[in-house]
Amino acid sequence: MANLEELLHQRLAPAFEAVAGAPVDPVIRRSQHAHFQSDAALALVRKIGGNPREIAARVVEAAQLDDLCSAVEISGPGFINLTFSDEVLARLLADTIGDERLAVPQAKDSEKIVVDYSAPNAAKEMHVGHLRSTIIGDAAVRLLEWQGNTVIRMNHIGEWGTPFGMLVEHLLDIGESEAASELSVGDLNGFYRAARVKFDADETFKDRARKRVVLLQSGDEVTLRLWRTLVEESKKYFLTVYGMLGVRLTEDDFFGESYYNDQLQSVVDELDELGLLRESEGAQCVFPDGYTNRNGDPLPIIVKKGDGGFGYGATDLATIRHRLRNLKATRLLYVVGLPQRQHLGMIYDVAKDAGWLVPPARAEHVGHGSICGEDGKMLRTRAGVSVKLVDLLEEAVVRASAVIAEKNPQLDEKTRADVARAVGIGAVKYADLSTDRLKDYVFDYDRMLSFEGNTAPYLQYARARICSIFRKAGVEQPLTGVDKLVITEPAERALALELLQFDSLISEVAETLEFHKLANYLYGLASTFTSFYEKCPVLRSEGDVKQSRLVLCDITARTLELGLGLLGIDTPDQM
C-alpha cells in the first residue's frame, strides 16, 4: 500500500526546494477541506519573504501533481490543498489485492530492538501495572517484528535481592513441597505476605533472613537451590498468565535480574575507571547531571552498597550495557510504569556518560499510567490486596461468553467458547491499548465488552460481518483475481482513502508506540465502512461495481484483522 503522505512529499519537496533555493519539508497533513494539505509556504515566508499565497502558487506550478491529483487548490493565507483522483486511489488500492502485507513494505532501516516488558517480581502477584506492561510490550513486539526488525524480548523479572532472604527462610519453615504447591496455584501474595508478617514480627526470623541474603549472594549451593524453587514456581505461574493473554512471551524470554549478577562488579570497575564513581554515605554512587531531590541535593544511582551488595540500579546499568555492547541493539524500549521515569532517565544518562549509549543507539521509556478501579484508585480487590490477574482475565471471558450467547444463540458450544475467549481477552487488551498509554484508565467490564463504541467487540464484529457477506456471496477470502477497481461514489472514495492511510499510520505508531492511534484508526475505519455499506449495495450490485465493492469489503476486513492482530487481538470469523 502506498504511503499517501510520502507520495505527495516526493512531488512537493523538489518544487519547494526550487522555489526556496534550499530543502524545505512540505509538511503534509490530513485535511478537512481536501484529502491533504501542505502549509509549508506560510513558514517559508518567514525565511525568504514575499506573499505566502504567491509562494504556494509557484510551488504548485513547479510540482508535478496532475498524474496524482484531481484538484490542487490554494486556500486561505497560503495552504496547498491536494485531492487524489479516483483513478489513483483505485490503482493504489488494487496493489493490496491478494497481498498478505496489504502492500505495506518492510521497514527501510530494520534494526535490532530490545523490548523490556512485563517484568513481574518472583514470589509476588503480578499487579495491573505488569498487565499493562505485558499488553503494551506485546503489541510493540508484534508491530516491530512485522515491520521486519529483529526484536529481542526481555522479561526483566525481579528475582534477586534482599526480599529473597526472607522468602527462602519462609520456604524452609513451611517445607519445600508445601511452598511449591502454594506458588504453583498462583497464591503468590499469600506466600509473600506470610513471610513479611514473620519478618516484621519476629526478630530471630529477621536475623535468619539477613543471614540468608548473605548466603544467597555468596553463591551458597543449598540457598541457591531453594531460591531457584521459588523462581521456577513463579515463572510457571507467569507463563499461565501469558498463555491466557495470548502474548508472545515464553520460557526463553526470562532474563531476570540475576542474569546480570556476574556483570555487576565489572560495571563498578568500569565506572570507576571512567571517573564517574563517587562515594556517598559509604556507598559507591554515580550522580548523573540534572537530577536532584526536594532539597536540591544531587540524586545518586547507588551502584554498590556499603555492605557490598548491589541493588536495582546497578542491575539496570549492567543490563543496559549488556544490551548495547553484547547484543548490539540500537533501540532499547523499556515498557515500564511512569513512576520509574526518573530512574530510567538516570540510567540512560549514566549509559551516555559512560559511552555505552551513543547514536544511532537510543533508549526510550515507553511509560504507562495505571489501571484504576471505579473509585479512581489503582485497581485492587475489596480486601485491599491487589487483584489476581488470572481471576480478572477469567471473569472477562465468562462475561464475554454471556454477551455472545445473547447476541448469537445459534453458535455451537465450542465456537462460542473460542469466540468468548477472543472477545474477553481482546476486550481487556483493547481497553488498554485504545487509551493514551500515559493516562490512567478505569477498568470497566461493561464498557469494554460493549458492542457499541470504540471497543474490541465492536471491531471484531465489524470484521465478522464482512466475513458473512463473503459467505453469502459464496466468494472466498482473501479475494484474488481482481486487478481493477472502480471508485465513483463518495462513500467508496472515503473508504478507499481511509484504507490507504494504514501504511503511514503504521510507520508513525512504530516510532511513537502510541497504540491508541492505531486503535482510533481501526475504529474510524469500521465506522467509514458502515456508512459505505449503508450507501453502496454490495451483494445487490453487479459486474465491475460488485467486484470492486467486494474488494473494498475484503481489504477492510483484512486491515481490521491485521491491525487488531498487531495489537495482539484475535478476530473470529463469526460471532
- Name the residues that contact ligand ARG, by CB under 6 A: 116, 119, 121, 156, 158, 316, 319, 334, 336
Residue 336 Cβ vs ligand ARG, minimum distance, rounded to whole Å: 4
Reported residue count of the chain is: 575
Between 37 and 121, CB nearer to ligand ARG? 121
Query: Do residues 70 and 467 touch, judged by C-beta distance below 8 A?
Result: no
Residue 461 Cβ vs ligand ARG, minimum distance, rounded to whole Å: 36
**Separation of alpha carbons 381 and 284, rounded Å:** 41
Q: Report CA-CA distances (Å) from 43 to 28, 29, 74, 437.
A: 13, 15, 15, 32
3-class secondary structure, 538: coil
Between 160 and 205, CB nearer to ligand ARG? 160
Distance of alpha carbon 54 from the chain centroid: 44
Query: Shortest CA distance to 241 belongs to which of 38, 501, 428?
Result: 428
Return the amino acid letter for 198.
Answer: K
Between 157 and 500, CB nearer to ligand ARG? 157
**Separation of alpha carbons 302 and 261, rounded Å:** 16
Element of type H or E holding 287: none
Query: Do residues 15 and 55 touch, judged by C-beta distance below 8 A?
Result: no
Residue 130 Cβ vs ligand ARG, minimum distance, rounded to whole Å: 6
Query: Do residues 39 and 56 touch, judged by C-beta distance below 8 A?
Result: no
Between 119 and 249, CB nearer to ligand ARG? 119
3-class secondary structure, 17: helix
**Separation of alpha carbons 511 and 149, rounded Å:** 13
For residue 300, the 8-state DSSP code is P
Between 83 and 121, CB nearer to ligand ARG? 121
Between 80 and 114, CB nearer to ligand ARG? 114
Residue 269 Cβ vs ligand ARG, minimum distance, rounded to whole Å: 21
The grid cell for 161 is 535481592
Query: Do residues 12 and 26 touch, judged by C-beta distance below 8 A?
Result: yes
**Separation of alpha carbons 435 and 523, rounded Å:** 13
Between 103 and 230, CB nearer to ligand ARG? 230
Distance of alpha carbon 63 from the chain centroid: 38
Between 367 and 568, CB nearer to ligand ARG? 367
Q: Is the dihedral of CA 492, 498, 502, 503 positive or negative?
A: positive
The grid cell for 516 is 491508541
Residue 510 Cβ vs ligand ARG, minimum distance, rounded to whole Å: 21
Q: At a CB cut-off of 8 Å and minimum separation 6, what does 103 contact?
A: 1, 2, 95, 96, 503
Residue 163 Cβ vs ligand ARG, minimum distance, rounded to whole Å: 12
